[in-house]
Structure 1
Amino acid sequence: MNSFFFLGGSLTGLKQRTGVDVANVDASSVRCNLWGATRSPAFSMDGDFVIGAVFSIHYHIINARNLRFAYTMIFAIEEINNSTELLPDINLGYQIHDSCAAVPVAVQSAFQLSNGGDNVYYKDNNCSQSGMMAGVVAESGSTPSIAISRVIGSFDIPQVSHIATCACLSDKKQYPNFFRTVPSDAFQAVVLAKLVKHFGWTWIGAICSDSDYGNNGMASFLQAAEKEGICVEFSEAFHRTQPHKIQKVADFIRRSTAKVIVSFTATGEMKVLFEELATKPSPSRQWIGSEAWITDPNLLRFTFCEGAIGYAIPKSDIPGLRDFMLDLSPTEVASSPVLTEFWEETFKCTLRKELHVCNGSEDLQKVPNDFVQSSPLRMSTLVYKAVYAIAHAIHILQYCFIWDYIKIKELYPFLFVFLDSALKKVNFTHNGYSVSFDANGDTVAVYELVNWQKDESGNIEVLTVGYYDASLPKNKEFHMNRNITWMDGKQEVPKSVCTDSCPAGTHRVLQKGKPICCYDCIPCPEGEISNTTEFWPNAVKDSCHPKPVEFLSINETLAIILAVFSVGGACLAILTAAVFFHHRTTPIVRANNSELSFLLLFSLTLCFLCSLTFIGAPTEWSCKLRHAAFGITFVLCISCVLGKTIVVLMAFKATLPGSNITKWFGPPQQRLTVMFFTFVQILICTVWLVVRPPFPMKNFSTYKEKIILECALGSAIGFWAVLGYIGLLAVFCFVLAVLARKLPDNFNEAKFITFSMLIFCAVWLTFIPAYVSSPGKFTVAVEIFAILASSFGLIMCLFAPKCFIILCQPEKNTKKYVMNKK
């Protein structure tokens, strides 16, 4: 029901696009013209639906493997026609064309397949055909597949390829009707690069076919190899029709220092290259092959390639196919020019009345050939899947529209739009394997890792040693289940690097104009062994050790002492606040503005505790917190001291005759003053943290032999603005306190404020040069010391005298004593 609704939507869209009501269209009303010259198919059979195909059956002589593809397709169609479950009421036909491994011939075949089912299409200027083209299985390479797709794609005819792997064909804007049962090279390029990286090869040569398959595949591989840190000595493209280029590539391989050669080539290119390499002895090379040639039995005679590895299409079996191929009758062979040629080439006899006439006793089982394979199939299974995919798409349409054959005849030639949509929905399992397509028309990437190994008789055979399955979880896609034989039959993994690892006491220097894998080894300067900044040599320079990372750790004695003083100072401030609170009604507490005193003690407690944020390994949050907390708490503290100073001055002025100045600086004004000064610092800190906040960093420059973990300021302007504002308030408070220091009170608080500000300014003026010149963790220790020293200076100068009187000389804690003039 869902499929019906989906395709029904396609009908509406097609009607809007073309203005034709395809549900009621009559084929007799549609005019058509024949595209291209007619060409007899290699194999054909009529049917309700015709599945077209283009294979490279000829290349100079018969290509037995591609002939097997054609017969695999015929077998699959006959199997479907005999099925009672798949398309039970529909008979499939086929038209299989031979492209002769030539793109122009492939294009000509594509035009003919676009014309329909017969070679004759005219009857009273109307289209006429006995079978409707449902889709095309093509081609035996990426370049001809691209050419065919551009032709039949104009007619919306779906194409399902069994062997075209170029990643470019996944572009649905250029190839909207293209599907394939073989994985895209986008996957193979990545897994080949990972394979090279897995075995530690960083220096390789690369060759490819000068075609869409080779050039696109190699481009993807080189991109993936660069990400894996693999260097390429040379990368060459060639075609089998370029003898001079083939000789040049062979000479590159002979002269190369890379022991590993990655080959993204078609079988034809590898054959002529191996033949060229065989003419002259050349050093052994470890070959890494793409799926196009790594399992080709015609190449196994080149024994100097023993140990070659690569990814291949998984082996599988098609029940009944071998018997079907062996059951070729003499009549069937004689009626087909292609089969006649194959038969005569295989058995070295003739079916015509000449010498060496075939006698009828020829047996394909007794003659080695690629047409009938005794081993499990690889590429042929992809043809089988492609045919079944098109059949299942037709099956979806049958149940989608709930029509009979006559109804679908009326929909032709708009059928292809619906078949393309149905192919996107295909998802079935047959003979133990599943077939489905993603949004790009690609199938799931599954490969076998194969290895060329010699058997007991000395012949090369292709053995499966592992597999790759892209559907498995990450880092579990690759699996190896058998030992690999390497070049020259060795069991050790060959080594392929541009430069060996530098010996102890030397380090790498890149060679000018060479990849990063090529370098010279020169003696290390004093205190160095390599250019890796986080490692340092031992005394004899024969091994590297990680550099120690230094910061003010809580486990160090210095950090523990500073932490004790920090906590002790906070406890002292809290204890002082408790004493003042207990004696809050006494004259000496009330005379010193108890509200500002408690606020000042609170801020001093925070000042002591903020020094703890400087201890330990810097983190992103601790770097931000330590500077912001320090700046804000100290401004709060100085603001309170400044408020107390102003109160003292205002109190003296208030004793003069006729003065009412105290009403201008009462408790509300004192609170606002403290809040205003503190808010300015909060604003400065906020801008600093938002624009360029402090952050943790590793300092490699201060020491060569260790790493300093510290907080970078982020914005130096922000840091010095925070310090400058604290200094400005401190100087202003100090000036006011100096002006009030000689007031004639018996208990003159201005004197203590002056002393406290004098200590505060002295500490921080000393801090600046000490902070700048202190190395490593001592920079942090100096900052903590300055915080603690200035905080202790304030609490001792401002509160110690008062606490001494409160606790030790209570007789002086009277209004008379406090107000008495000297």
Structure 2
Amino acid sequence: MGFSVGRRRFLNGIILVAVCHLLLLYKSLLMNCSIPDDPLPIPHEFYQPGDFIIGAVVSQVGFFYDEVSFTSQSTEELSELTMYRSVPKNYQHLLALAFAVKEINENPKILSNLTLGFHILNSYYAARMTYKATLSLFSTPQRFVPNFRCHSQNILIALVGGCISEITANVATLSAWYKTPQMVPNETHQYKGVVTLLQHFRWTWIGLFAVDDDKGDLFVRTMVPMLSQNGICCAFIYRLPYWAYTEEMADLVFQHGQSYNNITEGKANVFFVYGENPSFYSLRILLFTTTFLASPPLGKMWIVTSHWDFESPSMQKDWDIETFHGSISFTVHSNQPKGFKGFAQSIKPSWTRRDGFIQGFWEGSFSCSLDSSKREGEEKPCTGDENLETLPGTLFEMTMTGHSYSVYNAVYAIAHALHTSNKSILKHRRLAHGWKWAFQNVQPWQLHHFLSRISFNNSAGDTVHFNENREIVAGFDITNWLMLPNGSVVRVKVGKLDLQAPSGQELTINEDQIVWHNIFNQVLPLSVCNDNCYPGYMRKKKEGQAFCCYDCAPCQEGTISNQKDMNACVTCPEDQYPNKDKTQCIPRVVSYLSYKEALGAILATLAISLVFITILLLRMFLKHKDTPIVRANNRSITYVLLISLLLCFACALLFIGQPGKVTCLLRQTVFGLVFSVAISSILAKTIMVVLAFMATKPGSRMRTWVGKRMAVLIVLPCSFIQAGICVAWLSTSPPFPHVDMHSLDGKIILECNEGSASMFYCVLGYLAFLAIVSFFVAFLARKLPDSFNEAKFITFSMLVFCSVWVSFVPAYLSTKGKYMVAVEIFSILSSSAGLLAFIFFPKCYIIILKPELNSRDQLRRIRHERI
């Protein structure tokens, strides 16, 4: 225990001595600022002093070879080894920062008596050099001692993120240690905008390109589910190399050549690309070299994120870029600050000695050399008076791009935050001679509070402010890129993505302004897994394939599809039905047996005619009521039969016209009752013939039954039984009006629902029973000797009657709608007409044409002959 305490005291003493030595060393450095020079300074930098320094890491120059080392190379060796390649278009980012600082320093309303400066270093598209550049920003200029501040060093107050997300992320790793604000817009919102754009143009089968790094992995994991949730499928996912060094170009072509062929042969005509400018350079290498391998040209529709600006390194400036003609990109919203174009026009190679980027930019853009000692071959010298406006858009643009506009706004946001901080210090009553010193002691982390609250209008007229996540609120412009044959690049704004708009209205696009790739002949390109399913068909999933790939199946009966690529056919409303092609719903036609149509008019006319004929017969029989032929077989029953037949003909009219509640109740019941009376009357007449024959025998007691009493005893009970059935029917389940929309296509059938089908068939069954009994009795009595024997006429009439109603049942069941009603009317009329014709027409013949036969003597003679 004692040994441990002693060892602890010894170690504490050593630490205390070491701390004392470090404090003495720090004091010495602070007093003398004798910090050694940076052994490997970054060659490309742009420094302008000021009271406050804004740091920036840009990507204008890259390495040809991936052989950078911090341990073995000097600055001269590094320059000779790497052979820089310039990306001229990114030089505008530097100019945007310098222009913003210039405007702020010349504006007395912002940071009065204080100046802004900047320190810009190059990242070389490499993580190692990005970290080196960031640490250099936190060191004394031309020194490399991070976290040490000399008394003559200006204050690094904030950082402006690079135009490449990986560079920005690497800078953020170090800036977070120092809690230094880093200004960079959040671009993830554009993914939702791209999905909305794909849905707008109905592009459901797309190729997905993603840079082959961690950011690309995150993009794929985020984007693929988002696309699937919105009905969009990925035909393929192609991973782009982040950066192709010279020694990797051959491998790039051979490894990705087969993939290129698969891409060109697929049905996906729309490519959505997530990548940054280095991956764009790699893709251009692949597209350029495949032309020498007899590969087909790639005519597709490209949709790119805001990271791509279709810029060319100096080595690719003469390469054809027509493949990307008609592309659409989501670019960070930009506007044109006043005076920027003039500022850009004033730039010359000698505009400032502090700019370490200008030489590479100028030589790479104009293919000339500013240093005569290093000029090689036939390389022409630069005059210094070359005009930037003559450069194609892939190398430089005189109008401020989206990334440059973000840099411009970020610088102004920092300046306004400092200005607000300045007013806050004055508010706390600093002494007049000491406020500047106090303000210069503001720490970078203190700006976070002020940055989250500022809002201002820039010189371009846009409002700049931060959201609740402390991010600059920046929308996106939808840009259509035109690659002209002379190498020029024209960007046309065809819409916008407004993140502040209400839900569902964020995307605005003008299709008429969009220029498509020449291969599409200025027609909206299609990008689907298979051909569309047109109206009348629905999509049917293909087993084992993505849900965007489907077959087309015709709509089922009763359903339609009125749009292309419907997932399911829809059922028409009840009052409508599908047309023949199943592409739309047509209003149904109301159908019932009407007096206005030919069939209804004919049946009504026939029924009324038979009613009048029956009335004439009844009148004729009443007129000749005392004649033997009328008095034979009980003339009262004859009158009852004629009246019941008249009612049978009349009840047919109840079946014609639009069904109502009353007519539905009366139709079948009246029909059943009057027919029961008619058949009962016929049965009574037949029985009367039998009884009359039996009564003529000597000593027969049947004479007492021959007469009206017998007829009443037959007609009334038979009719009352049918009446009882009808009452039971109406009491339990009466008929009612019904609308049938399903039995016939295109028809709304207005009909009477019988309520109880069993009761309906009971009525018909009872009539059939009476008819059969009457038929057999009449058949047996057809040859009995009697004057004017009606039995044989009743036999024929009942044969017709039974034949009609036997045929009625299958015909009734096989028809629907008004034709079913017409069948029943025809059966009523034909069966009643058969009874009328076969029973009464022979008597009419005698009454009208053979009156001499209608006498008592003649009846006796006929009876004697029969006996």
TM range (shorter): 0.5 to 0.7
8 Å contact kept, 1:203–1:260: yes
Quote the residue 1:291 is aligned against: 306
- For 1:349, which of 369, 377, 389 is the aligned residue? 369
8 Å contact kept, 1:535–1:547: no
Quote the residue 1:46 is aligned against: 49
Q: Could you tell me which amino acid in structure 1 is paired with residue 100 of structure 2? A: A
Question: Kindly tell me: are residues 451 and 338 of structure 1, through their superposed partners in 2, closer, same or farther at Cα, counting changes over 3 Å?
Answer: closer
Counterpart secondary structure, 1:147: helix
What displacement does 1:45 show?
2.2
Q: Could you tell me which amino acid in structure 2 is paired with residue 430 of structure 1? A: N
Quote the residue 2:125 is aligned against: 101
- For 1:363, which of 357, 381, 386 is the aligned residue? 386
The answer to whether the aligner puts 1:70 opposite 2:94 as a matched pair is: yes
Distance 1:122 1:468 in 2: 41
Question: Kindly tell me: are residues 37 and 414 of structure 1, through their superposed partners in 2, closer, same or farther at Cα, counting changes over 3 Å?
Answer: farther
Deviation digits for residues 586-615 of structure 1 (CA, Å, limit 9, x no counterpart): xxxxxxxxxxxxxxxxxxxxxxxxxxxxxx
What displacement does 1:477 show?
3.0
The answer to whether the aligner puts 1:148 opposite 2:158 as a matched pair is: no
Quote the residue 2:337 is aligned against: 318
What displacement does 1:491 show?
2.8
Deviation digits for residues 379-400 of structure 1 (CA, Å, limit 9, x no counterpart): 2111111111111111111111
8 Å contact kept, 2:465–2:472: yes
Question: Kindly tell me: are residues 508 and 427 of structure 1, through their superposed partners in 2, closer, same or farther at Cα, counting changes over 3 Å?
Answer: closer
Distance 2:507 2:433 in 1: 47
Question: Kindly tell me: are residues 38 and 557 of structure 1, through their superposed partners in 2, closer, same or farther at Cα, counting changes over 3 Å?
Answer: farther
Q: Which moved more, 1:511-520 or 1:32-41?
A: 32-41
8 Å contact kept, 1:465–1:483: yes
Aligned residues: 515
What displacement does 1:271 show?
3.3
- For 1:385, which of 409, 413, 420 is the aligned residue? 409
Question: Kindly tell me: are residues 422 and 373 of structure 1, through their superposed partners in 2, closer, same or farther at Cα, counting changes over 3 Å?
Answer: same
8 Å contact kept, 1:294–1:309: no
Question: Kindly tell me: are residues 387 and 347 of structure 1, through their superposed partners in 2, closer, same or farther at Cα, counting changes over 3 Å?
Answer: same
Quote the residue 1:791 is aligned against: none
Quote the residue 1:236 is aligned against: 238
Quote the residue 1:543 is aligned against: 583
Question: Kindly tell me: are residues 301 and 406 of structure 1, through their superposed partners in 2, closer, same or farther at Cα, counting changes over 3 Å?
Answer: farther
Quote the residue 1:660 is aligned against: none
Counterpart secondary structure, 2:338: coil
The answer to whether the aligner puts 1:422 opposite 2:450 as a matched pair is: yes
Counterpart secondary structure, 2:471: coil
Quote the residue 2:282 is aligned against: 272
Question: Kindly tell me: are residues 519 and 418 of structure 1, through their superposed partners in 2, closer, same or farther at Cα, counting changes over 3 Å?
Answer: same
Question: Kindly tell me: are residues 405 and 191 of structure 1, through their superposed partners in 2, closer, same or farther at Cα, counting changes over 3 Å?
Answer: farther
What displacement does 1:335 show?
6.3
Distance 2:165 2:210 in 1: 13
8 Å contact kept, 2:579–2:585: no
8 Å contact kept, 1:116–1:132: no
What displacement does 1:65 show?
2.2
- For 1:519, which of 550, 560, 566 is the aligned residue? 550
The answer to whether the aligner puts 1:497 opposite 2:528 as a matched pair is: yes
8 Å contact kept, 1:134–1:157: yes
Question: Kindly tell me: are residues 325 and 303 of structure 1, through their superposed partners in 2, closer, same or farther at Cα, counting changes over 3 Å?
Answer: same
Question: Kindly tell me: are residues 348 and 61 of structure 1, through their superposed partners in 2, closer, same or farther at Cα, counting changes over 3 Å?
Answer: same
What displacement does 1:415 show?
0.8
Deviation digits for residues 68-89 of structure 1 (CA, Å, limit 9, x no counterpart): 2122212221221222011011
8 Å contact kept, 2:206–2:271: yes
What displacement does 1:352 show?
3.6
Q: Could you tell me which amino acid in structure 1 is paired with residue 497 of structure 2? A: Y
Q: Could you tell me which amino acid in structure 2 is paired with residue 230 of structure 1? A: I
What displacement does 1:313 show?
2.5
Over the aligned positions, Cα root-mean-square deviation in angstroms equals 4.4
Quote the residue 1:58 is aligned against: 61
Quote the residue 2:192 is aligned against: 190
Question: Kindly tell me: are residues 704 and 383 of structure 1, through their superposed partners in 2, closer, same or farther at Cα, counting changes over 3 Å?
Answer: farther
Counterparts of residues 710-725 of structure 1 (less than 5 Å): none
Counterpart secondary structure, 2:156: strand
Question: Kindly tell me: are residues 36 and 498 of structure 1, through their superposed partners in 2, closer, same or farther at Cα, counting changes over 3 Å?
Answer: farther
8 Å contact kept, 2:542–2:550: yes
Distance 1:327 1:460 in 2: 22
5+ residue gaps, structure 1, are 1-26, 161-179, 549-555, 563-701, 707-822
What displacement does 1:340 show?
2.6
Quote the residue 1:131 is aligned against: 154
Deviation digits for residues 235-292 of structure 1 (CA, Å, limit 9, x no counterpart): 2222143715543542342132111111122123233324423522245322112122
- For 2:143, which of 105, 119, 130 is the aligned residue? 119
Distance 1:137 1:119 in 2: 21
Quote the residue 2:807 is aligned against: none
8 Å contact kept, 2:422–2:439: no
Distance 1:401 1:30 in 2: 31
Distance 1:381 1:111 in 2: 26
Quote the residue 2:819 is aligned against: none
Q: Could you tell me which amino acid in structure 1 is paired with residue 453 of structure 2? A: K
What displacement does 1:148 show?
1.1
Counterparts of residues 553-568 of structure 1 (less than 5 Å): none
Question: Kindly tell me: are residues 420 and 523 of structure 1, through their superposed partners in 2, closer, same or farther at Cα, counting changes over 3 Å?
Answer: closer
5+ residue gaps, structure 2, are 1-25, 63-83, 562-566, 589-658, 666-741, 747-867
Quote the residue 2:496 is aligned against: 467
Counterparts of residues 434-513 of structure 1 (less than 5 Å): 434-453=463-482, 461-481=490-510, 482-488=512-518, 490-502=521-533, 507-513=538-544
8 Å contact kept, 1:214–1:266: no
Distance 1:251 1:53 in 2: 41
Deviation digits for residues 345-381 of structure 1 (CA, Å, limit 9, x no counterpart): 3351232446568474532346526675334533211
Counterpart secondary structure, 1:207: strand
Counterpart secondary structure, 2:267: coil
Quote the residue 1:224 is aligned against: 226
Counterparts of residues 418-817 of structure 1 (less than 5 Å): 418-431=446-459, 432-453=461-482, 461-481=490-510, 482-488=512-518, 490-502=521-533, 507-522=538-553, 532=568, 534-535=570-571, 538=578, 540=580, 542-543=582-583, 545=585
- For 2:104, which of 80, 97, 106 is the aligned residue? 80
Deviation digits for residues 314-371 of structure 1 (CA, Å, limit 9, x no counterpart): 3422333333344345545666543233333335123244656847453234652667
Question: Kindly tell me: are residues 539 and 48 of structure 1, through their superposed partners in 2, closer, same or farther at Cα, counting changes over 3 Å?
Answer: closer
Question: Kindly tell me: are residues 525 and 301 of structure 1, through their superposed partners in 2, closer, same or farther at Cα, counting changes over 3 Å?
Answer: same
Distance 1:406 1:246 in 2: 65
Question: Kindly tell me: are residues 290 and 246 of structure 1, through their superposed partners in 2, closer, same or farther at Cα, counting changes over 3 Å?
Answer: farther
Quote the residue 1:164 is aligned against: none
Q: Which moved more, 1:48-57 or 1:216-225?
A: 216-225
Q: Could you tell me which amino acid in structure 2 is paired with residue 468 of structure 1? A: L
Deviation digits for residues 481-525 of structure 1 (CA, Å, limit 9, x no counterpart): 443222326332112222334467765431122121212235667
Counterpart secondary structure, 1:273: helix
What displacement does 1:304 show?
2.9
State TM-score, norm by structure 1. Answer: 0.55
8 Å contact kept, 2:270–2:527: yes
Counterpart secondary structure, 2:336: coil
Distance 1:528 1:270 in 2: 50
Distance 1:493 1:329 in 2: 44
Identity of aligned residues (%): 23
Deviation digits for residues 732-765 of structure 1 (CA, Å, limit 9, x no counterpart): xxxxxxxxxxxxxxxxxxxxxxxxxxxxxxxxxx
Distance 2:259 2:374 in 1: 45
Distance 1:61 1:42 in 2: 16
